[in-house]
């Protein structure tokens, strides 16, 4: 177990949140690194000057690797633990990044894109889960929203680094920005060696002594014996939750029936359905098409010259990053549910206006710049709502026994839909133009009824309390204010033995 200079309390939590943020910065960098390079002559020459469809494949194949990484996390995440799953992902990303930087053929690029994607899938499936398990209910959403701000920080770094290097002659114009991604996983791996595993995983592994030590350190104590009743209460909640999950299945291993058709009070199949559809809908709204193809979108759909399109793509990434800042405050203030509802409505309006402006034609400067403004508006609204909320929501509503699987399947759904939309976008835009964006309008509008009818509020409750929300036998006082469509953020929980305010304060 890691023991980085005996960190404890806020320092230990900051170290874990920090290294998770560094890993998500890698995720953002990897998503944006090919956005400007895909049209670069030197890069296309190294790949043998592929067609538009093959260029789409090169970009989208990364998502297939991410899907494979999510499958690894889903099936082996509980056995590996949060820490080693992320460390394994860092190894894959390092190998994939180095291979892409040395690319001299199309096949080589595709293989190493897949390898890097496997690592990203493992990391992106596990980071939100680890954050949710080590942060208290009052800070859990904020810490995850911060991670998504760092995703966009990586995206901004990629765009502006490429804006500078694409002006350089020769292969260095694309090899350096691709190789730069290896810095993120190497640093993360070294830091992770000194950090402890999630206490919930250690309790699940029956490593009670190690779990007591980590849980006490997270609350700022040197040992469990010296800790406060708050630590004992949290331990009790965790152990009772594990005991309940095990008792319902007699401690047997997870079966396919448990996952997809769970009739037990845990009701994991309902939770898994929400997670998978929610994260799939996020991508079907077109967010990654804009992220991957901003330069192409500005040149082909709006008609800007290449230099101005690259400059605007960098500015758009900054706008997206700025949009994630309000979410750090709003995700706990108004709750996950309201943030997703308002975000879906705003994104629908922005995408609809963008589509209408393209349909009217961009020959007139006012219409062209209006379309650019709608892209900026879409990115800001998406960044302040769905970009961060669905990541924490998926981890929050899943029971401990299935949290790794549900998270993996949710992120798998996200990467699969990313592959679908990113692969489809270039030929669709070339073939039917503005009509392509009608699809994204439809799916952003579908997000509203899905969240309204199926997604209860989760803000302000411990993970163990959220288990009660979904259980068939949940008492009325647990369900009150949670499952009704009009419910706002959960009021501070009424714990039987300790006030949730006190628990939350110790988890900051």
Task: pLDDT band for 260, please (50, 70, 90 cuts).
Answer: low
Q: Hey, what are 106's tokens?
A: 């199309």
Q: Tell me the mean pLDDT in the region 91-108.
A: 91
Cα gap 433→462, rounded to integer Å: 47
pLDDT in tens, 434-475: 888 899 999 999 999 999 998 988 888 888 788 777 775 444
Tell me the C-alpha to C-alpha distance, in Å, between residue 104 and each of 32, 46, 107, 116, 428.
21, 5, 9, 17, 28
Q: Tell me the mean pLDDT in the region 352-377.
A: 80
The fraction of the chain above a pLDDT of 90, given in percent, is: 21
Is 4 in a helix, a strand, or coil? helix
Domains of the chain, CATH where assigned: 9-195+263-454 (1.20.1250.20)
Alpha helices in 249-334 (DSSP H): 256-260, 268-284, 287-296, 306-333
CB atoms within 10 A of CB 144: 29
Lowest mean pLDDT among 141-150, 225-234, 266-275, 411-420: 225-234
Query: 497: burial class by Cβ within 10 Å (0-12, 13-18, 19+)?
Result: exposed
pLDDT of residue 262: 65
For CA atoms 10, 508, 275, 58, give the dihedral sign.
Answer: negative
Q: Tell me the mean pLDDT in the region 204-222.
A: 88
Cα gap 84→116, rounded to integer Å: 17
476 pLDDT exceeds 50?
no
Q: Angle at CA 321, nearest 5°, toward 9 and 334?
A: 65
The terminus-to-terminus CA distance of the chain in angstroms comes to 23
Closest CA to 270 of 402, 141, 391: 402
Mean pLDDT over all residues of the chain? 80
pLDDT of residue 151: 82
Cα gap 502→488, rounded to integer Å: 22
pLDDT of residue 159: 76
Closest CA to 86 of 133, 147, 130: 130
Tell me if 82 sits within 8 A of 201, measured CB to CB. yes
pLDDT of residue 163: 73
CB atoms within 10 A of CB 233: 17
484 pLDDT exceeds 60?
no
Lowest mean pLDDT among 145-149, 339-343, 426-430, 500-504: 500-504
Burial call 243-252: b when 16+ CB within 10 Å, e when fewer:
ebbeeeeeee
Task: pLDDT band for 55, please (50, 70, 90 cuts).
Answer: confident
Is 321 in a helix, a strand, or coil? helix
pLDDT in tens, 267-312: 788 889 999 999 999 988 888 777 666 666 677 656 667 777 777 7
pLDDT of residue 248: 62
Tell me if 161 sits within 8 A of 310, measured CB to CB. no
Cα gap 314→279, rounded to integer Å: 26
Cα gap 232→166, rounded to integer Å: 56
């Amino acid at each position: 177990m890691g023991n980085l200079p005996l960190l404890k309390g806020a320092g230990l939590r900051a170290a874990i949140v920090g290294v998770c943020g560094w890993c998500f910065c890698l995720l953002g960098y990897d998503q944006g690194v090919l956005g400007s390079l895909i049209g670069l002559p030197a890069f296309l020459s190294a790949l043998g000057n592929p067609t538009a469809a093959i260029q789409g494949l090169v970009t989208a194949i990364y998502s297939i690797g991410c899907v494979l990484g999510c499958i690894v996390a889903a099936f082996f995440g509980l056995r590996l633990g949060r820490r080693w799953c992320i460390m394994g992902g860092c190894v894959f990303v390092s190998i994939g990044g180095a291979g892409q930087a040395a690319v001299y053929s199309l096949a080589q690029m595709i293989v190493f894109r897949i390898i890097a994607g496997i690592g990203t899938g493992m990391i992106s499936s596990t980071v939100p889960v680890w954050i949710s398990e080590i942060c208290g209910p009052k800070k859990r959403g904020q810490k995850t929203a911060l991670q998504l701000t760092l995703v966009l920080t990586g995206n901004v770094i990629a765009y502006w680094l490429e804006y500078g290097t694409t002006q350089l002659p020769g292969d260095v114009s694309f090899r350096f920005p691709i190789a730069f991604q290896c810095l993120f996983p190497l640093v993360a791996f070294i830091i992770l060696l000194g950090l402890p595993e999630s206490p919930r995983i250690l309790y699940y592994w029956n490593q009670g002594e190690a779990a007591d030590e980590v849980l006490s350190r997270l609350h700022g104590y040197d040992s469990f014996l010296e800790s406060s009743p708050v630590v004992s209460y949290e331990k009790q909640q965790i152990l009772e939750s594990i005991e309940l999950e095990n008792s319902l299945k007699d401690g047997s291993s997870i079966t396919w029936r448990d996952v997809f058709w769970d009739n037990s009070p845990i009701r994991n199949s309902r939770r898994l359905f929400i997670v998978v559809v929610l994260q799939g809908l996020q991508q079907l709204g077109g967010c990654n098409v804009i992220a991957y193809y901003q330069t192409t979108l500005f040149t082909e759909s709006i008609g800007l010259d290449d230099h101005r399109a690259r400059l605007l793509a960098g500015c758009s990434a900054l706008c997206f990053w700025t949009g994630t800042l309000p979410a750090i405050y709003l995700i706990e203030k108004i709750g996950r549910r309201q943030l997703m509802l308002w975000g879906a409505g705003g994104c629908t309006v922005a995408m609809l206006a963008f589509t209408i402006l393209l349909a009217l034609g961009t020959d007139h400067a006012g219409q062209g710049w209006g379309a650019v403004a709608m892209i900026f508006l879409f990115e800001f609204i998406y960044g302040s709502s769905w970009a961060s909320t669905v990541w924490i929501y998926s981890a929050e509503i899943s029971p401990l026994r299935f949290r790794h699987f549900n998270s993996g399947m949710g992120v798998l759904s996200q990467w699969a839909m990313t592959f679908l939309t990113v692969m489809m976008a270039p030929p669709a835009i070339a073939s039917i133009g503005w009509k392509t964006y009608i699809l994204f309008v439809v799916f952003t509008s579908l997000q509203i009824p899905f969240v309204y009818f199926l997604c209860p509020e989760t803000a302000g409750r411990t993970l163990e309390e959220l288990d009660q929300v979904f259980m068939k036998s949940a008492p009325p006082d647990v369900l009150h204010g949670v499952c009704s469509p009009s419910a706002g953020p959960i009021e501070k929980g009424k714990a039987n033995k300790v006030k949730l305010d006190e628990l939350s304060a110790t988890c900051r």
